[in-house]
Amino acid sequence: MAPALAPAALLGLLIGSFLNVVAWRLPRGESLVKPRSKCPGCGEQLKAYDNVPVFSWLVLRGRCRGCGEKISARYPVVEAVTAVLYVAVVAAEYDNGLKCALGLALVTFLVPIAVIDLDLKRIPNALTGPAAIIALAIGLAFDPSYVPEQLIAGAAALTFFLLPALLSKKGMGMGDVKLAGVLGLYLGADVAPALFIALILGVVVGVAIIGKAGVTAGRKVKVPFGPFMAAGAVIAFFAGSGLLDAYTDSF
């Protein structure tokens, strides 16, 4: 396993760099392939040596080499988080091809979904659709007997969020509903603790906002739920089975 961790980290950094492009360009309808990345200030295309994940940002101290425009720290954070998640998945599931493939694909989609939802408060179908197809393709390729669990979990998670979304316009958005279904396809039975964790995180943040801004103002603050679902999914991927076992043992 140890020899695989360094390649996983490198791949995660490279994929994370591309996910920054996805998070910025996809919701704006821009090509993910061209043109090359450029400075948001002067528009100068970045040289290859100024576009090395994390390293270039640190060397340049977060500024464009040409004009000195500040470059958001979000870019190296996304790259580093993706690399850490890749290493964590490989370390945890190196001997389980199905879980390893599902985990890597899951975090690859969750990172841009969370970033886009934080920025624009929406989750693009262009990400959840392919994510669902890839989850099923992985299941069929590695273990077709697992596909029924994927489908049941996906349908159950989607239905769980669909009803509130239909009953209340102020409830879950359809992007959240679709993402819940996708999480079921990747996590199987572990989607239950994933959604529970997401709901708890959402409540905690909501209470914190109300505590700081007051009830009236706090209720008007729109907080995207996608990042909570992403966090819940990551936690459940690594600890979902243990959480389910602890729950069933307690009751």
pLDDT in tens, 194-228: 999 999 999 999 888 888 877 777 777 888 999 99
pLDDT in tens, 62-99: 888 878 788 889 999 999 999 999 999 999 999 999 99
Q: What is the pLDDT of residues 1-38, one digit of tens each?
A: 677 899 999 999 999 999 999 999 999 998 888 877 77
What average pLDDT score do residues 105-133 get?
96
DSSP string, the chain: -HHHHHHHHHHHHHHHHHHHHHHHHGGGT--SSSS--B-TTT-PBPPGGG-STTHHHHHTTTB-TTT--B--THHHHHHHHHHHHHHHHHHHHTT-HHHHHHHHHHHHHHHHHHHHHHHHS---HHHHHHHHHHHHHHHHHH-GGGHHHHHHHHHHHHHHHHHHHHH-TTS--HHHHHHHHHHHHHHGGGHHHHHHHHHHHHHHHHHHHHHHH-HHHHHH----SHHHHHHHHHHHHHHHHHHHHHHHHH-
Mean pLDDT, the chain, integer: 89
CA 71 to chain centre: 22
